[in-house]
Amino acid sequence: MRISQTILMRLEQLGRQVDAMQQHLFNTTVRLQDETNDDVVLTPVKDIDQFLSLEGRLAADGNIKLKLIQQLAGLGGSTFGAAARRMLELLLSLEVAVQFSWAGQKGKRKFVDLGVTDVICKAVRRNFPETKKNDIECVIKVWLRHAGEKLQKQRLRTSRTHHEENFRKTKAELRDALNQLSEAPIKLP
């Protein structure tokens, strides 16, 4: 009795592995067929109007939705979480992301009901078929929750870099001015 249960469990496990391999083979074939297709998104969307326009295009045209799923799945990632974050970073700039929360809390827009959410889940599951939708949604929730902090850090880095460049320019100008003064002949009355 125990041996038959072990054999049955092993057969089920092998069946899941075969299903995963078939799905991977299908995804690879689809990617190869669509290499000639243009990407739907080239850079992260910079403002909310562009993002809502993309959302409208996804709702209106199933082909665009399919192309975006294929494009995002092609980004890859070592884990389903890494893949989902890469997809989010391609789709949304942090300036747009801070305008959303998962369920629309704190006066923000709802992300859960968007077509992009479904696209991300489907794209992740192309590469990680055993991943539950809820697990992918949790990654999206955390990414949205921390978008504000990331934006602040990004702005701080940009500001710091700008100040450092100004300091270097001023320092170089002062050095040049001192060199010119030291080269000029001194005239005494």
Q: Tell me the β-bridge partners of 45.
A: 92
State residue 171's pLDDT score: 74
Does residue 66 register a pLDDT over 90? yes
- Judge whether 85 lies within some domain: yes
User: Domain span at residue 23?
Assistant: 1-33
Does residue 39 register a pLDDT over 80? yes
DSSP state of 110: E
Mean pLDDT of all residues in 180-189: 67
State residue 29's pLDDT score: 62
State residue 31's pLDDT score: 58
Average pLDDT of the chain? Answer: 86
Q: Are residues 97 and 10 in the same domain?
A: no
Q: Tell me the β-bridge partners of 92.
A: 45
Q: Tell me the β-bridge partners of 109.
A: 100
Q: What is the pTM of this model?
A: 0.66
Q: Are residues 22 and 114 in the same domain?
A: no
Record the tokens describing residue 149, joined without a space: 């902090």
State residue 4's pLDDT score: 83
State residue 178's pLDDT score: 72
Q: Could you give the number of structural domains in the chain?
A: 2
The Cα 152–Cα 159 span in angstroms is 10
Q: Tell me the β-bridge partners of 110.
A: 101, 103
Q: How many helices (H) and strands (E) does the chain have?
A: 7, 2
Mean pLDDT of all residues in 131-150: 96
The Cα 162–Cα 154 span in angstroms is 12
- Judge whether 171 lies within some domain: no
Does residue 184 register a pLDDT over 70? no
Q: Are residues 14 and 84 in the same domain?
A: no
- Judge whether 27 lies within some domain: yes
